[in-house]
Amino acid sequence: MLRSEDMSLVQLTMQREAAHDTIAVFGELGIIEFKDLSSHLNAYQRQYANEVKRCEELERAIRFFEKQLKASEVSRVTLSSVGVEEPPQYTGDMFSLETSFGEKEQELIQMESSLEQMLSEKNRSEELIYVIKHGENLLRTDDELSIGENSDDDMSSPEVGRPIISTGNTLDHLTGVIPRSKIITFITLCNRITRGNLVPKFSEIPEKLYDEKTNQLVDKSVFTLFVPQSSKLMITKICDLIGANLHVYPSQDVLQAQRKLHLQINQLEQTIDSTKMRRNDLLSDINTHIESYKYRIASEKLIYNTLNLLDYNIQGSVIAEGWTPTKHLDLIRSKLDQARVTSGAQIESYMEELRTQQLPPTYFETNKFTACFQDIVSAYGVPRYKEINPALFTIITFPFLFAVMFGDWGHGLILTTFAISLCAFEKRLQKTADESELFNMIFHGRYVLLLMGLFSTFTGLIYNDVFGLTIDLFGTGYTFGAGRTGEFSDRTYPFGVDPAWYGTSNKLLFYNSLKMKMSIILGIFQMSLGVLLAGCNMIYFGHYFDLIFEFIPELLMLWCTFGYMSILIIIKWCTRWPNGNGPSILPTMTDFFLHFWKVEQAPVFGTAQGKQQQIVQQILLAFFVISVPILLLGKPIYEHNKNRVRDVHVPLHDDDDDDENEEYQLNIEHSDSHQSKPVSEPEPFSERMIKQLIHTIEYTLNVVSNTASYLRLWALSLAHAQLSEVFWDMTMKLLLTIKTPWVNTVLVESGIGVALMWIVWFSLTIFVLLLMESLSAFLHALRLHWVEFQSKFYSGDGNLFRPFHIDSIIKEAKAEESRE
């Protein structure tokens, strides 16, 4: 993972008959990123555009079958239900499915249409039976046209009064069935059209009936409207609009009509049941193989899309180009031969490694442990080809800096336990992660969480901090008198901070000093690592001039200032000072710049007069002052004297040419096609000076600002510790220190109050300290890596290697579909 894999640009030449099988083989392996050699053609002009359309049509048919399965009574067969991770491949001719799918789809459509028609007929027959019953009830009334009589009280519209039939109009009636939820709207509309000249009669149907518009069983009621004949046509249109079915009361023998309706309903029910049985049998057969169909169709579509990228200008042959890791060249040759034999092609396929000036893509072979750390780095930018990969160092530095801010071994153990659970049950949780985007982020970073928890436990032991408390594991090195004044017993606490500091008045001052100085040391160490890695990049790419005029001045500027400050801190920690009061570091560093000709503060090392310290500081300051003009003027003057611009050199991947590998120069500006473009004219000296001036000023200021940025380690660590202590003091400690007798009896001794207060304390710990504080520490650790560390050596403008891998593409598509 230190540097990306060696990449080669290969050209594959094969017979057209072997192209499909060849692409299919490499799609299973996922080791080649194919280039588009037909970019001058649009999607409809590509060689296999028709095949792609046919695959899309098969996918449409699959979606239709899935919709039918979802609406049917057939239980869906999924991979998890049968205990299979990958679907079995359909081995037959894919396009032979077109005829089968077409027949099955047409049959399902016809059955669906027939079912809807039969359900509609059955529904109307059932409605007519209730209409007849309703008519019989009306005939038994006194034929009084009054509103609400023999109808539901809640069905009468408040706007309907006693009907006033206009002179010259004759009454007519309409009978039908309407969904019960639409009665009020129906009556209101009819009342407005007839201006109150209507008499509605309603009766509820005791069972739910089929509704043609919603395809569901709903509550309905039978209605009869007595309206003027002039309004009948308008009310008929309202019935069609609102979903009410009108029926004609039979004029012949009512009993005979009812018998015919019941017989018709029985026949329709039998036909509907047999049709549903046939549909379920057909869907069950489809359901058995649908997963293998989907996988094969998706695979073929991907293969044909990739075939559309190839070059078909040579008659009878196909040319493909793509990037691949150099270590796979022998495997590619063997798979080419295998695909040729499988396809039955007569002409042998062969591979040629091309020499090119294109910028290769970046490829790191990761596993489930390293993938998340690589994603953390790649989220900022993909490493440039052969550039040192920060992810290798991030595996340790990221969780450690998080732990410095989250140092509590109680919280660390909880975080570790949670991460171990994710790792132990990762197979069971994988499906849940695929369906939830938020949980997938946490699940994908389970090994990051594991290291964060382990490092937090370690730093918590260093701080001797557990839930805001302290534990005396090895015996304190202080003795306390009657006045609670601690006396050092010349025995240092073996590991971490002495527990004697807990509860003292100067505890915060002690932790402030410790954590602030520790943050500076850690920051200087990580930034120095970044500058050293920049020097390693310069050596690897042969930029020896940059090594002299950039790397050395930058390293001196860092170590002659804050590096020296870190050394003073360590010397002060390791020295036994009289009365426990050593010299102050900040005034010493202030005099380092403002009074460099003498040492006004008490010296940290050397004699009491400070002569040795004064000499060292003057030498370091001289190095710092000299480094600034070297960094500013060295590179522009050198490039101006050359009077030309370096041509961009790209690695030529020849195993026998090691000298050329040392001449790689990848500090280039590349186009979207990754082609290197030499500069036609020399850059003016003034522009080079301006750029170098900006870089010099930026780096000089960053020496101060980036070092100060690491003080967030101190600030967040103190904040976390203080919140832990406050939560404990305001909950458990408050309850346990109450002196009131009845409180001790009722709440403490009974255990009820302790249990309730523990729930409050633990809830605050989980939601505030473990969720909010951990997210805050995570983001701050991320910033320290992206800005303070990676900016020293990392360009992050590379191109990620995206090989053609069928399984990965289909899996990502399924995960995205499940989240939607």
Kindly report, residue by residue over 731-790, the tens digit of the pLDDT: 988 888 887 777 777 777 788 888 999 999 999 999 999 999 999 999 999 999 999 999
Round to whole Å and give the CA distance between 525 and 570.
Answer: 13
Single-letter residue type at 245: N
Residue 168, sorted as left (phi over 0), alpha (psi -120 to 50) or beta, turns out to be left
Round to whole Å and give the CA distance between 293 and 300.
Answer: 11
* pTM over the 0.85 mark: no
Secondary structure of residue 243 in the 3-state scheme:
coil
In sequence order, which residues have a C-beta less than 8 Å from that of residue 259 and are 6 or more positions away?
A: none
pLDDT band at residue 86 using 50, 70 and 90 as cut-offs? low
Most confident listed range (165-174, 564-573, 810-819) = 564-573
The two beta strands, 199-204 and 220-228, are antiparallel
pLDDT of residue 643: 58
Single-letter residue type at 477: G
pLDDT of residue 116: 86
Torsion of CA 634, 640, 645, 646, to 10 degrees: -40
pLDDT of residue 171: 73
pLDDT of residue 476: 86
| DSSP β-bridge partners for residue 216 | 211
Round to whole Å and give the CA distance between 96 and 108.
Answer: 19
pLDDT of residue 560: 93
pLDDT of residue 432: 87
pLDDT of residue 205: 87
Flag the least confident range among 533-542, 606-615, 777-786, 789-798.
606-615
Percent with pLDDT over 70 in the chain: 88
pLDDT of residue 78: 53
Predicted confidence (pLDDT) at residue 434 exceeds the cutoff of 90 = no
Q: What is the average pLDDT value for the chain, to the nearest integer?
A: 84
Predicted confidence (pLDDT) at residue 141 exceeds the cutoff of 80 = no
Sign of CA dihedral 185, 190, 196, 198: negative
Which tokens hold the place of 423? Answer: 């790792």
Give mean pLDDT, residues 441-464. 95
Round to whole Å and give the CA distance between 522 and 555.
Answer: 16
Kindly report, residue by residue over 53-69, the tens digit of the pLDDT: 999 999 999 999 988 88
Q: How far apart are the first and last CA of the chain?
A: 34
Which tokens hold the place of 57? Answer: 């049509």
Round to whole Å and give the CA distance between 336 and 331.
Answer: 9
Spatial contact of 307 and 55, defined as CB atoms under 8 Å apart = no
The 3-state secondary structure of 703-744, one letter per residue: HHHHHHHCHHHHHHHHHHHHHHHHHHHHHHHHHHCCCCHHHH
pLDDT of residue 438: 86
Which tokens hold the place of 499? Answer: 């527990």
CA of residue 479 relative to chain centroid, distance: 54
Kindly report, residue by residue over 156-214, the tens digit of the pLDDT: 333 333 333 333 456 788 888 999 888 888 888 888 888 888 888 888 888 888 887 77
pLDDT band at residue 478 using 50, 70 and 90 as cut-offs? confident
- In 3D space, the residue among 656, 572, 568 whose CA is nearest the CA of residue 620 turns out to be 568
Kindly report, residue by residue over 95-107, the tens digit of the pLDDT: 778 888 888 999 9
What DSSP letter does each residue of 15-61 carry, written as one string?
EHHHHHHHHHHHHHHT--EE--TTTTS-GGGSTTHHHHHHHHHHHHH
Kindly report, residue by residue over 489-499, the tens digit of the pLDDT: 778 888 999 99
Spatial contact of 588 and 601, defined as CB atoms under 8 Å apart = yes
φ/ψ of 644, rounded to 5, equals -160, 170
Predicted confidence (pLDDT) at residue 439 exceeds the cutoff of 80 = yes
Most confident listed range (279-293, 737-751, 805-819) = 279-293
pLDDT band at residue 149 using 50, 70 and 90 as cut-offs? very low
What DSSP letter does each residue of 239-260 carry, written as one string?
HHHHTPEEEPPPSS-HHHHHHH
Between 350 and 741, the higher pLDDT residue: 350
Flag the least confident range among 24-28, 453-457, 640-644, 786-790.
640-644
pLDDT of residue 162: 35
Between 412 and 658, the higher pLDDT residue: 412
